[in-house]
């Protein structure tokens, strides 16, 4: 019984053979499923006078844990100028150690240098951003160039792809746009009612909801929904095509991936987002109507008439222009990040995240610019 | 309990819905054997592998590991049986968010009590075995397809599995690297007694290292031969000889 138990344990013994030679005896079981000693523990045993190391073994079983242990030991010996004589090791161990040592180790500069400090990372991010800006402009230029080709008839749009994209980004987004727009209309009505009730002007909830939804919030909410839903999908799909070298295949055939992949997506979103914006405004107004008539005792026709009188054609025009611009921003960001994607699953995830962040940033910037512009133009 | 027949495939039928890929597959793999699953493109080799490693439930029949019915045991037992397998996928299937070292270290960290230092050493050793010494800090996306494949083998070897299942080890590798992998497979069998199942249509590997084999036929959608591939080349089924001689016999 004792022998069986011993055979299940690892054992290690060192014995000086002479003044300069140390013998290490491995016995028992040296396997991965055990808690083995740290190889560095032997470092103190290899005293200054040792110039040769020999091995003896009486192993019941061994696996790569034993090989890894020996690798460290042999490397330690080499670093200290000690000759490690492997003759006492089992033949299989020697073969596998030789196989592992056969391939030259690659030393690549800059690898494994550890993480950089906070300031370095900020600096690197800033440099990357400024390097990224020309890349964004170059991509914008390519897209404009491609639009030019389309308008001049030098390339043909694949209608089947365009219809597929239109269906994907338009009708299939209706449900989420409905839910979000209804809730936003509801919030807007409550917010307005709370303030307007103090001056006895609750009827103006209709004006607030109608103008707010049609002119600003409908477009903004639709843009953000589409950024999350469609922009990220564009980036993920194009990114996966990068990983699979499908985009490289287009390039090698002399087909512009911008013409083939990016243009239909941008056109689809520029067409669909304004329509979704109108729809969003309509759903928001319905939510306001529901709240006003059931909670705040405003008559159905009263609310309807107030809404009709508040809305002017220019509000629709502003909403449509904004929707169109936001759609273009989302399509641009999604396609840009997809086309810039690296060659791994990780990179696809980063591209999708980056597409959403870039879309929302561009939507916010363009919303500010358009609001100031329309104010200055008196629209 | 270990038996002389670690793998037995019994009346296995694999299908995607109504489409039967292969039916009535029967073979055994002996302990320490290098067993080749071969056949033409699209014959169902990789689907058979998926049934062997627990990724695709067979339409009929089952796989037994040391007599235990892999597809009809309790979930916990099914998981335990899976841990006895090391699997190398065709493209390497390396986790792209982890470095090569992290990929190989993950199963060691999960299933052993080894110190992190020894795990690092084992990882370096495994990578060196497949000719990737010094690539510990690389991400899979930074490597060529052949290197990713070899890294996949290093990860499959991480826990020194009793059974190693390898999908197309040599395809996409240069001849010297392919030969190195074949030698490594022989060393693993020799020293660890590893039972190795290789899914391949690389003739050099089939004839060079295979002890036994099964041939899956695309036309009849079933196995048409088992046995030593070198004997099959000499006197086997004409369809197998046709395959093993690149259509010259």
The predicted-structure confidence for A52-91, as pLDDT tens digits, reads as follows 889 999 998 898 899 988 988 888 888 888 898 999 999 8
Is A342 in Cβ contact with B108 (below 8 Å)?
no
Closest CA to B148 of B157, B160, B139: B139
Contact with chain B for residue A38, Cβ under 8 A: yes
Which residue has 């069986």 as its token pair? A4
**Shortest alpha-carbon distance between residue B132 and chain A (Å):** 7
Q: If you average pLDDT over residues B209-227, what whole number do you get?
A: 92
Structure tokens at B207: 């004839």
The neighbouring-strand residues paired with B166 are: B88, B198
The three-state secondary structure class of B52 is helix
Q: What is the pLDDT of residue A6?
A: 53
ipTM of model: 0.80
Query: What pLDDT is attached to residue A324?
Result: 94
Indicate the domain borders of chain B.
1-84+163-171+195-249
Could you tell me which chain A residue has the CA closest to the CA of B138? Answer: A111
- A103: chain B residues, CB-CB within 8 Å: 128, 131-133
Count other C-beta atoms under 10 Å from residue A246's C-beta. Answer: 13
Residue A64: its chain B contacts at CB < 8 A? 122, 125-126, 157, 160
Chain B residues with at least one Cβ partner in A under 8 Å: 96-97, 108, 112-115, 117-118, 121-122, 124-126, 128-129, 131-141, 157, 159-160, 183-184, 187, 190-192
Nearest to A345 among B96, B115, B122 (CB): B96
What six digits make up the tokens of A24?
């290490």
Q: Which chain A residue has its CA at the smallest distance from B157's CA?
A: A64
CB contact under 8 A, A32 and B131: no
Mean pLDDT of B25-46: 93
Kindly state the tokens that stand for B44.
């169902």
3-state secondary structure chain A: CHHHHHHCCEEEEEEECCCCEEEEEEEEEECCCCCCCCHHHHHHCCCCCCCEEEEEEEEEEECHHHHHHHHHHHHHHHHCCCEEEHHHCCHHHHHHHHHHHHCCCCCCCCCCCCCCCHHHHHHHHHHHHHHHHHHHHHHHHHHHHHHHHHHCCCCCCCHHHHHHHHHHHCHHHHHHHHHHHHHHHHHHHHHHHHHHHHHCCHHHHHHHHHHHHHHHHHHHHHHHHHHHHHHHHHHHHHHHHHHCCHHHHHHHCCCCHHHHHHHHHHHHHHHHHHHHHHHHHHHHHHHHHHHHHHCCCCCHHHHHHHHHHHCCHHHHHHHHHHHHHHHHHHHHHHHHHHHCCCCCHHHHHHHHHHHHHHHHHHHHHHHHHHHHHHHHHCC
- On whether the CB atoms of residues B154 and B130 are closer than 8 A, the answer is yes
Residue B60 pLDDT > 90: yes
Cα A188–Cα A189–Cα A190 angle in degrees, nearest 5: 95
**Average pLDDT score over residue span A22-34:** 89
Instruction: List the single residue in B96, B108, B125 with the smallest CB-CB distance to A346.
Output: B96
Nearest to A36 among B108, B118, B129 (CB): B118
Q: What tokens does B173 get?
A: 């590798």
Q: Are A26 and A59 in contact (CB under 8 A)?
A: yes
Which residues make beta-bridge pairs with A117? none
Q: Does domain B1-84+163-171+195-249 have CATH number 3.40.50.300?
A: yes
Q: What pLDDT, in 10s, does the model give residues A341-359?
A: 988 888 999 999 999 999 9
Please answer yes or no on whether A32 and B108 come within 8 Å at the CB atom: yes
Q: A68, A94, A349: which to substitute to probe chain B, counting the most B Cβ within 10 Å?
A: A68
Alpha carbon of A91: minimum distance to chain B alpha carbons (Å): 9
pLDDT digits (tens, 9 = 90+) for B99-141: 999 999 999 988 888 888 889 999 999 999 888 999 999 998 8
Closest chain A residue to B140 measured between Cα atoms? A344
Average pLDDT over residues B31-49: 92
For residue B93, report the phi and psi dihedrals to the nearest 5 degrees: 50, 40
The DSSP bridge partners found for residue A335 are none
Whether residues B190 and A101 touch (CB distance < 8 A) is answered with: no
A310: tokens are: 């508040």
Nearest to A268 by CA among A225, A318, A332, A321: A332
Interface test with B, best of A100, A102, A109, A348 (most B CBs within 10 A): A100
Query: Is the separation of the CB atoms in A292 and A194 below 8 Å?
Result: no
Whole-number Å distance between alpha carbons of A174 and A324: 17
Report percent pLDDT > 70 for chain A. 94
User: Does residue A181 contact residue A323 with C-beta atoms inside 8 Å?
Assistant: no
* Token couple for A21: 């030679």
Six-digit token string for B240: 């197998």
Looking at residue B138, what is its pLDDT? 93
pTM of the model: 0.74
Q: Cβ of B125 and A71 within 8 Å?
A: yes
**C-beta atoms of B139 and A108 within 8 A:** no
Instruction: List domains and CATH numbers for chain A.
Output: 2-102 (3.30.750.24), 158-377 (no CATH)
- Interface contact A12, partner B, CB < 8 A: no
The predicted-structure confidence for A218-277, as pLDDT tens digits, reads as follows 999 999 999 999 999 999 999 999 988 888 888 877 788 999 899 999 999 999 999 999
Structure tokens at B137: 């800090």
pLDDT at B183: 87
Q: How far apart are CA B91 and CA B204, in angstroms?
A: 20
pLDDT at A141 over 70: yes
Bridge partners of B227, per DSSP, are: B213
pLDDT grade for A2, boundaries at 50, 70 and 90:
very low
């Amino acid at each position: 019984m004792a022998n069986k138990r011993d055979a299940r344990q690892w054992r290690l013994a060192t014995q000086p053979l002479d003044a300069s030679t140390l013998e290490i005896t491995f016995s028992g079981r040296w396997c991965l499923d055990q808690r083995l000693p740290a190889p560095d523990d032997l470092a103190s045993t290899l005293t200054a006078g040792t110039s040769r190391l020999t091995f003896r073994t009486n192993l019941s079983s061994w696996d790569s844990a034993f090989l890894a242990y020996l690798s460290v030991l042999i490397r330690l010996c080499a670093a200290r100028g000690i000759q490690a004589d492997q003759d006492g090791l089992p033949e299989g161990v020697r073969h596998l150690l030789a196989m592992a040592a056969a391939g030259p180790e690659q030393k690549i500069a800059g690898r494994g240098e550890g993480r950089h400090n906070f300031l370095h990372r900020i600096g690197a991010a800033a440099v990357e951003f400024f390097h990224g800006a020309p890349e964004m402009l170059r991509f914008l230029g390519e897209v404009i160039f491609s639009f030019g080709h389309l308008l001049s008839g030098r390339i043909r749009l694949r209608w089947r792809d365009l219809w597929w994209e239109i269906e994907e980004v338009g009708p299939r987004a209706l449900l989420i746009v409905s839910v979000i727009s209804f809730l936003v209309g509801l919030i807007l009505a409550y917010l307005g009612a709370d303030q307007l009730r103090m001056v006895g002007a609750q009827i103006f909830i209709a004006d607030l909801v109608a103008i707010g939804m049609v002119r600003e919030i409908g477009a903004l909410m639709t843009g953000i929904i589409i950024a999350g839903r469609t922009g990220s999908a564009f980036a993920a799909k194009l990114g996966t095509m990068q990983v699979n070298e499908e985009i490289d295949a287009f390039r090698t055939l002399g087909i512009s991936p911008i013409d083939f992949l990016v243009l239909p997506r941008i056109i689809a979103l520029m067409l669909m987002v304004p329509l979704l914006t109108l729809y969003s405004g309509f759903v928001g107004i319905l939510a306001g109507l529901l709240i006003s008539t059931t909670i705040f005792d405003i008559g159905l026709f009263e609310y309807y008439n107030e809404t009709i009188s508040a809305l002017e054609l220019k509000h629709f025009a502003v909403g449509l222009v904004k929707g169109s611009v936001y759609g273009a921003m989302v399509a641009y960001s999604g396609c840009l990040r997809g086309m810039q994607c690296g060659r791994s699953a990780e990179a696809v995830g980063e591209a999708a995240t980056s597409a959403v962040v870039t879309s929302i940033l561009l939507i916010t910037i363009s919303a500010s610019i358009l609001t100031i512009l329309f104010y200055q133009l008196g629209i | 309990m270990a038996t002389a027949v670690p793998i037995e495939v019994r009346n296995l039928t694999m299908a995607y819905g109504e489409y039967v890929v292969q039916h009535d597959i029967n073979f055994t793999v002996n302990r320490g054997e290098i067993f080749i699953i071969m056949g033409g493109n699209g014959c169902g080799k990789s689907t058979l592998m998926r049934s062997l490693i627990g990724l695709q439930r067979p339409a009929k029949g089952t796989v037994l590991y040391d007599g235990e019915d892999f597809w009809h045991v309790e979930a916990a037992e099914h998981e335990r049986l899976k841990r006895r397998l090391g699997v190398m996928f065709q493209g390497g299937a390396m986790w792209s968010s982890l470095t090569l070292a992290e990929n190989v270290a993950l199963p060691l960290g999960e299933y052993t009590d080894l110190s992190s230092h020894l795990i690092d050493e084992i990882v370096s050793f495994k990578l060196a075995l497949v000719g990737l010494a010094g690539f510990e800090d690389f991400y899979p996306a930074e490597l060529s397809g052949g290197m990713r494949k070899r890294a996949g083998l290093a990860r499959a070897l991480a826990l020194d599995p009793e059974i190693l299942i390898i999908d197309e080890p040599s395809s996409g590798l240069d001849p010297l690297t392919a030969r190195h992998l074949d030698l490594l497979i022989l060393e693993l069998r020799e020293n660890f007694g590893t039972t190795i199942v290789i899914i391949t249509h690389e003739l050099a590997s089939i004839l060079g290292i295979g002890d036994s084999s099964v041939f899956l036929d695309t036309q009849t959608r079933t196995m048409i031969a088992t046995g030593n591939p070198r004997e099959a080349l000499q006197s086997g089924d004409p369809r197998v000889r046709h395959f093993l001689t690149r259509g010259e016999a």
